Amino acid sequence: MVKELRWYGNLEEDVKKMDLTTFMSFIPTRARRSLRRGVTDQHKKLLKCVQSGDKNIKTHCRDMVIVPQLLGQIIRVYNGKEYLPVTITLEMLGHYLGEFSLTRKSVSHSAAGIGATRSSKAVSAR
């Protein structure tokens, strides 16, 4: 038996049909305030691309709140170097796109380089 995924007690189909004012009552205050102020022209352009059914959507709009219209889409979000694919799921509603396209990589150190330690002083640089 498959467990149904719910968002604040609503099924995914119900969330997709939800209007913006009802959706705003479920999301946190910061995101609600951003939506109440209105969407920018760049956000409108992104929503228009989603509604038209484009498959390869790229955006720099890291500050856009994820709304029900974006559910199920794959959006490539710019992280400062490249476009990382983000698949929009039910749990992401009310968050920002930039939260899922990290701008910093984790550091992975390898062996010390030449001149990094006193023991490498005896090693020739050739």
Domain of 11: which CATH number?
3.30.860.10
Q: What are 30-83's pLDDT values in tens digits?
A: 999 999 999 899 999 999 999 999 999 999 999 999 999 999 999 999 999 999
Q: How many domains does the chain have?
A: 1
Whether residue 30 is contained in a domain is answered as yes
Which residue range is the domain that position 26 belongs to? 6-102
Give the pLDDT of residue 114: 74
- On whether the CB atoms of residues 61 and 97 are closer than 8 A, the answer is yes
Whether residue 107 is contained in a domain is answered as no
pTM to 2 decimal places = 0.81
- Percent of the chain exceeding pLDDT 70 equals 93
Give the pLDDT of residue 5: 87
Query: Which pairing describes strands 83-87 and 74-78: parallel, antiparallel, or unpaired?
Result: antiparallel
Rounded-to-integer distance, Cα 6 and Cα 115, Å:
57
Whether residue 123 is contained in a domain is answered as no
Whether residue 18 is contained in a domain is answered as yes
Whether residue 98 is contained in a domain is answered as yes
